[in-house]
Amino acid sequence: MGVVLDVDKLRAAGRVAVAAREYAVSLVRVGALVLDVCESIERFIVESGGLPAFPCNLSINEVAAHYTPGLGDSSVIPEGAVVKVDLGVHVDGFIVDTAVTVDLSGEHGKLLETTMRALEEAVSIVKPYVSLYDIGRVVERTIREGGFKPIRNLSGHNIGRYVVHAGLSIPNVADRSLFRLRVQPGTLIALEPFATNGKGLVVDGPTINIYSYTGREPKMGLTSLEVELLDHISREYKTLPFATRWLKNWKSGDVEGLLKLLHSKGVLHGYPVLVEAGRGVVAQFEHTVLVTESEAIVLA
């Protein structure tokens, strides 16, 4: 039996997410510390009545996704940057996910316009029982007509309670194998086209600053300190992604080392930073849509 969605809580999360997205745009400027921007957005979410559904992602230029600052991160937003801000808000585990891209160079307006148009076109066709193939087809067509490539191995997704990626992938390319797969009423989906002037593919980078609890049994025994940290993670974040920096006050000085060990033992899932394979510039926009029996409601 699927999760029963609380529409009031989703709407509340959506209101916070929209405000946080607008606030995020105001913070993106040359020379700003990435850490300051992300923590300011996360603080804004809490002060507005929500909680972060995952760490604020701030991905620059060829970095497509999953960059959040780590412990002691001193990186700044450089001149001429194309900056993706991806944020999530939850109210009692009911999640809304949204993203925006800011072009500080003034040179990539067409890329941003094309990506936003692909999102708008996707939203316009979403309704009960729409085919995933049709969503991917309209996204791909719009991006290619703009002269760019969709990133074929990044996709939207459905959302569950306390689960950001709930198992269903919403493609950004026309995949005929998905023609018979339909969006059922009562489904919450995140549509997020990614477009690039590169190869249209992302690869894993070496950095992981985001993890989530898998709920699986460890591949090998855990030390008492690992058990204590895992208990803290499961209690505080449940199955939602969290940032290494959120644990900066943990009693162990080597929290990064402990997280790597828990990852290697299979009890944490890691989210590597994703980089465009051809080092092309990437743009992303995202809305969360609730599909009901009669309509599609854009929450953020």
Cite the active site residues: 86, 97, 157, 165, 192, 286
CA distances from residue 250 to 32, 180, 211, 213, 238 in whole angstroms, order as listed: 27, 48, 16, 17, 17
**Tally of CA atoms within 13 A in the half-sphere of 160 that contains its CB:** 13
Q: Edge-to-edge strands of the sheet including 63-65?
A: 63-65, 268-276, 202-213, 242-243
DSSP string, 214-252: --PPPSS---HHHHHHHHHHHHHHTTS-EEGGGGTTSSS
| Alpha helix (H) residue ranges in the chain | 7-27, 34-47, 109-125, 132-145, 224-237, 255-264
Tokens found for residue 92 = 């009692």
Closest to 62 measured CA to CA, from 87, 82, 78 = 82
Query: In the chain, what's the furthest Cα-to-Cα distance?
Result: 56
Please give the DSSP secondary-structure letter assigned to residue 77. P
